[in-house]
Amino acid sequence: MDAAIRTEHLTKVFGGVVIAVNDLCLTVPKGAVFGFLGPNGAGKTTTLRLLLGLHRPSAGQAFVLGRPCGIDAADVRAMIGFLPTNPKFPPHLKPFEYLNLVGRLHRIPSDVRIARISSLVRAVGLLPVTDQRIGTLSTGETTRLGIAASLLADPPLLLWDEPTAGLDPAARRFALDLIQELRHDRTVVVATHILADIDRVCDHVGVMFEGRMIFSGTMQDMKRRLRQEGITLELAGSRDALRKATEVLPNRCQVEHRWVSENVLSLTVEEGAGRAKALADVLHVLAEVGVDLQSIQSGHGDTESAYLNLLQEDQSHGFARFQDSPRPTHADRGGVPV
C-alpha cells in the first residue's frame, strides 16, 4: 500500500521539556480521508507542523509521498494544501491579493493563476467580500479563504487542521461536503477533536493521545473495537405488546436487550452475529407482536465510545506503553556492548 504520509519514531520536544509528539509512527494511505483525532493538546497540530517543516523534529523522520520532510523541504510543501486552525493570514491584504501571493509562491503562471483564483473565490463563496481586508473577515470567511488557498495549487495531499472550528452550521456543512467531494482524487487529513466530523467524512482514523498514536486504522476497525455494538430503537405500542416483545426477543434474535426507558430499547448484537441480520430479526419480531418503530439510532455514538475506550485503555496500560518504544542498539551506542 502506497503511503501519502509516513512517520518513523517522530518526536518533538519543545525547549527540552515539553513532549508534544512522542515517538509517533504513522502511515496514512494514499487516497484516504484520514481523521486525525485527539483531545486538545494531544499533538495533532504539532505533527502537521512537523510534516510542513514549520517545526524541526527532535528525533525521527517524516515522509510525504515518499519525500523527506524538513525545514527547507519546499518540494514537500508544494504537494501539500495546508489549512491551519483559526488561520492568521496577512490582515492588510484582500482575499484576491493573498491568493495571488500563494499562487506566486507555488510558481503558478500568471494566466493560469488569475483564472484559478477567480473560480476558487466563487466556489468557496467569497465573492461578496473580495473588496474587504482579511483582517475584517469573519472566522468562517477566513476559513473559506484558507480552504481556497489550500486548493489553489491542486495539491495531492490536503492537511486541514480543525477545518470546522468556530464555524456556524452552514459553514461547517460546506467544509464537510467539500471534503467528501475532494476525497475522489487526493488524500485528505482532517485533524479534529469533533467526533461527528470524523464519523461523517473519514474512512481512516488515527487517535492521538499525549503525543502518541494509540490507534490507527480504518473506521470499521475502530468501531469493531467496541465491545458492545449498540442499536437504540424508539418504539410505540401497548404495554402488553412491549412486554411480549421482551419475552420473544431473546429466543428468536442474536441480541441482548435492555430497556433504557419505557419505550426505548437498547440492543447489543452478540459476538459473531451479523448486525444486519440481527436487526432484521428484531424488526420482524416487533412487527409480529404489534409494536411500531418510531426511530432507530445506530452507530451515531459508536465513534465516541470507541474513542473514549481507546483513551481509557491507553491510560490503563501504564508503564507497558514504554515497551513499544524503540530500543537503542549497540551501533547507537558506538558499538560498545552492554
Q: Is 90 a residue that touches other proteins (CB under 8 A)?
A: yes
Only segment of 22-30, 51-59, 269-277, 300-308 that touches other proteins (CB under 8 A):
51-59
Asked whether the beta carbons of 290 and 245 are under 8 A apart, the reply is no
Radius of gyration of the chain (CA): 25
Cell, residue 71: 525545514
Three-state SS at 76: helix
Q: Is 33 a residue that touches other proteins (CB under 8 A)?
A: no
Cell 523522520 sits on residue:
61
Binding other proteins by CB under 8 A: which of 106, 223, 225, 275?
Answer: 106
Binding other proteins by CB under 8 A: which of 3, 19, 25, 105?
Answer: 105
Asked whether the beta carbons of 160 and 83 are under 8 A apart, the reply is yes
Q: Is 224 a residue that touches other proteins (CB under 8 A)?
A: no
- Binding residues for other proteins restricted to 204-223, rule: CB under 8 A: none
Only segment of 46-54, 122-130, 200-208, 279-287 that touches other proteins (CB under 8 A):
46-54
Binding other proteins by CB under 8 A: which of 2, 18, 39, 56?
Answer: 56
What Å distances lie between residue 231 and 239, 265, 275, 276, CA to CA? 21, 8, 9, 11
Q: Build a one-symbol-per-residue string for 298-317: x at contacts with other proteins by CB under 8 A, - elsewhere.
A: --------------------
**Beta-carbon-side half-sphere exposure of residue 100 (alpha carbons within 13 Å):** 11
Q: Is 101 a residue that touches other proteins (CB under 8 A)?
A: yes
- In the complex, the smallest distance separating the C-beta of residue 252 from other proteins, rounded to whole angstroms, is 58
- In the complex, the smallest distance separating the C-beta of residue 144 from other proteins, rounded to whole angstroms, is 15
Only segment of 49-57, 118-126, 307-315, 329-337 that touches other proteins (CB under 8 A):
49-57
- In the complex, the smallest distance separating the C-beta of residue 324 from other proteins, rounded to whole angstroms, is 27
For residue 120, how far is the Cα from the chain centroid?
A: 24
**Beta-carbon-side half-sphere exposure of residue 178 (alpha carbons within 13 Å):** 21
Asked whether the beta carbons of 153 and 81 are under 8 A apart, the reply is yes
Task: Count the Cβ atoms, other than its own, within 10 Å of residue 335.
Answer: 8
- Binding residues for other proteins restricted to 143-162, rule: CB under 8 A: 149
